[in-house]
Amino acid sequence: MTSADERPARLDVGVVGSGRVGAVLGAALRRAGHKVVAASGVSDASRARAEALLPGVPLLPVEEVVRRAELVLLAVPDDALTDLVAGLASTHGWQAGQLVVHTSGRHGLEVFDAARDQHVLGLALHPAMTFTGTPLDLDRLADCCFGVTAPEPLRPVAEALVLEIGSEPVWVEQEMRPLYHAALAHGANHLVTLIAQSLQALAAAGVEQPARVLGPLVAAALDNALRAGDAALTGPVARGDAGTVAEHLRQLQSLTPDIRPTYVALARATAERALASGRLRPHAAAPLLDILASDQEH
């Protein structure tokens, strides 16, 4: 946390988009001492979320939220962000010197191009966290990093905003934001699919509490991978146990059609990384890769 002297001046905050991210970050800014003066939200879920996390904050049209705010938090879907900024610029909705923060991981400062002649101060602050849209997220922010991209003169302001809500700023160059976002989506979003597939397979094997069995193993594997990267690898692919992998493929054939191709793709990627690191010897990898290649051909 920053000291009182390091914190930005208290700001009137407007939250555009009371989804899971917007409502939580609005609440975090309010907890840090800023004043949330207005929010927008159309769906019943957004309105309920705003009522729970931002009690007493009026829900208003986007244009009015922006008009009232010194700091505008844009927490809208990636594909809507550029058009939203441009639409407000076309109606002269922005104010000179207004801080405008978006939470997109993919986008950087280019989304503010349409508002540049209205002299907004644009910042890109992406929380590297999955949100539930409940007060639980406020405590999780203490372990969260934000991908920060800002004009160099505004970098201290951007980083201070992150620090004062208890999170850690991580600088991301403008041109690197799409790769940064791809890395996070690959690691987090695809992990959800992988775990869901594993739980499904365990249930099909007759395990009554799949999460109880899988949880400790996955938690240990994740911790080891974060500490050691590829060196944490264990299992049949790392050992070059082609017979075991072939049997896995036979068993997975009876499940929903997404699971076996996922196993094949990840086993092949695992084998290639194990080969490159020297953990898997070429003579052991050859039959394994042959099995995986033949499966892809069918």
Of 33, 65, 40, 28, nearest to 146 (Cα)? Answer: 28
Mean pLDDT of 229-239: 93
Cα(63)–Cα(87) distance, integer angstroms: 10
pLDDT digits (tens, 9 = 90+) for 192-218: 999 999 999 999 999 999 999 999 999
Q: How far is the first Cα of the chain from the last one, in angstroms, to the nearest whole number?
A: 56
Spatial neighbors of 25 by CB under 8 A, at least 6 apart, are: 15, 73, 75, 103, 127, 165
Spatial neighbors of 70 by CB under 8 A, at least 6 apart, are: 11, 12, 13, 98, 99
pLDDT digits (tens, 9 = 90+) for 112-135: 999 999 999 999 999 999 999 999
169: β partners: 146
| Per-residue pLDDT at 6 exceeds 70 | no
| Per-residue pLDDT at 15 exceeds 60 | yes
Q: Looking at residue 232, what is its pLDDT?
A: 94
CATH of domain 12-172: 3.40.50.720
Name the one residue in this structure whose structure tokens are 């201070």: 160
Is residue 294 very low, low, confident or very high in pLDDT (cuts 50, 70, 90)? confident
| Per-residue pLDDT at 27 exceeds 60 | yes
| Per-residue pLDDT at 2 exceeds 50 | no
| Per-residue pLDDT at 5 exceeds 60 | no
- The residue extents of the domains of the chain are 12-172, 180-297
Cα(6)–Cα(155) distance, integer angstroms: 13
pLDDT digits (tens, 9 = 90+) for 43-65: 888 889 999 999 999 999 999 99
Look up residue 124 and give its amino acid.
A
| Per-residue pLDDT at 3 exceeds 50 | no
Q: Looking at residue 298, what is its pLDDT?
A: 52
Q: Looking at residue 255, what is its pLDDT?
A: 97
